Structure 1
Amino acid sequence: MTTNHIPNRLIVEKSPYLLQHAHNPVGWFPWSEEAFDKAKQENKPVFLSIDYSLLLTHTYLSLMGCSRGSVKYFV
């Protein structure tokens, strides 16, 4: 699901799965040292999303959670 949000850092990824989340309001990171370093520096937990686009949970998260603007404040 795409929206009018400014693209996050997933916009430069090659994976079609990651690219479909590039316009979510959540500031997603791909699996990287940068993600873990940032979490450590900010003393925050890592929210790890392991998903497959054909699963019902993926559709539910896209529609009910990660595509909504307010969720970016909690993730």
Structure 2
Amino acid sequence: MLTNSKFPASPNSKENLNGVIIGKNAKIGANSTILPGVKIGPNALIGAGAVVTQDVEEGMIMIGNPAKAHRKSGY
């Protein structure tokens, strides 16, 4: 799930939309949630069910809720 509104119930939420940026060859696991404004670096891997609340470095594997860096991938 990609989200674009940090506070969707806010009366002015449409004026503050902020999308997600996904780098080339990044892989996103099933049922993961990526919060607004987060940048996923190239070749990163987001584990299934992860909740990504901050930017992800290139080639990093992120897992958990909230997602934490597991290790750099071998790519």
Fold conserved between structures, TM > 0.5: no
Q: TM-score, normalised by structure 2?
A: 0.28
User: Which structure shows the bigger proportion of residues in helix conformation?
Assistant: 1
- Larger relative strand fraction: 2
What TM-score comes out, normalization by structure 1 length? 0.28
